[in-house]
Amino acid sequence: MSDEIAENGTANGDVPEIELIIKASTIDGRRKGACLFCQEYFMDLYLLAELKTISLKVTTVDMQKPPPDFRTNFEATHPPILIDNGLAILENEKIERHIMKSVPGGHNLFVQDKEVASLIENLYSKLKLVLVRKDEQKSAALRAHLGRIDGLLERRGTRFLTGDTMCCFDCELMPRLQHIRVAGKYFVDFEIPTSFRALWRYMYHMYQLDAFTQSCPADQDIINHYKLQQALKMKKHEELETPTFTTSIPIDVSENSNAE
């Protein structure tokens, strides 16, 4: 299906092999794409593979030219797709539930923490608003939200959101922070303030982790992801327009004036 396959953990039959199919880059089909849910589940499973409760196989699929066997099996379904013991799980929420309930070790990732859950849940939609509206008000709202996350990290003093080990919330937050950092800077010159020291420290620790660096798309892929979204949005807008034909003339050139 793809030539990029990452293997982790032991594959000697002691532990189940889990396959995660992720979207490829829209620039180079051999690279990882900038799909947030793909990266989130990649990180979840990578952590489990490091703990050797599973063996992980990651397959990259170029959706611009999916291989025939992918189209046969999954038709129009987009990654992420999780395959466990011949069972394909296609929906994000079901993948998350499967990792939590059925993948060995998974339950350890799913910490109960209402404060963190509600703190991070609407962050990403604020980036989208910044990219669409491109006004300072939306940038300020995103900055304020990041400030609240900085405040929680500062107050708790832990390396990660819920403690000194990673949990599902970190796998959810960090890919989004990276999109905010890279796309925010590129499209609207948005920067995460350096005064958010606890947040930067958090990101610093993430940048040291294989689970993050192995799953992270290149900056160009993140940027191109939003460029394509904008191009599609423009196109959609135009599809709704009634076609017009510019054939008016700004000066008087009727037959009479022609004969003058």
Q: Which of 12, 118, 250, 256 contacts a copy of itself by CB under 8 A?
A: 250
Print the binding letters for residues 176-215 with a copy of itself: x by CB under 8 A, - otherwise: --x--xx-----------x--x--xx-xx--x-----x--
- The minimum distance between CB 229 and a copy of itself, in angstroms, equals 12
User: What is the biggest distance separating any 2 CA atoms in the chain, rounded to whole angstroms?
Assistant: 95
**Nearest of 174, 227, 224 to residue 200 by alpha carbon:** 174
The Cα angle at residue 174 between residues 95 and 169, in degrees rounded to 5: 50
List phi, psi (to 5°) of 174: -65, -40
Query: CA torsion 62→67→72→77, rounded to 10°?
Result: 0
Q: Note whether 27 binds a copy of itself by CB under 8 A.
A: yes
Beta strands in the chain (DSSP E): 5-8, 17-23, 55-61, 81-84, 87-89
Q: Which of 31, 52, 97, 128 contacts a copy of itself by CB under 8 A?
A: 31
Q: Which of 124, 161, 216, 226 contacts a copy of itself by CB under 8 A?
A: 216
Instruction: Put residue 123 in one of left, alpha, beta given phi > 0 → left and psi -120 to 50 → alpha.
Output: alpha
Between 71 and 204, name the residue whose CB sits nearer to a copy of itself: 204
Q: Which of 28, 50, 113, 154 contacts a copy of itself by CB under 8 A?
A: 28
The neighbour count for residue 1, using CB atoms within 10 Å, is: 16
Q: Note whether 239 binds a copy of itself by CB under 8 A.
A: yes
- Residue 148 near residue 161 (C-beta atoms within 8 A): no
Between 34 and 116, name the residue whose CB sits nearer to a copy of itself: 34
- The minimum distance between CB 234 and a copy of itself, in angstroms, equals 7
Which residues of the shown chain bind a copy of itself in the complex (CB under 8 A)? 26-28, 31, 178, 181-182, 194, 197, 200-201, 203-204, 207, 213, 216, 218-221, 223-224, 227-228, 231, 234-235, 238-239, 241, 243-247, 249-251, 253-254, 258
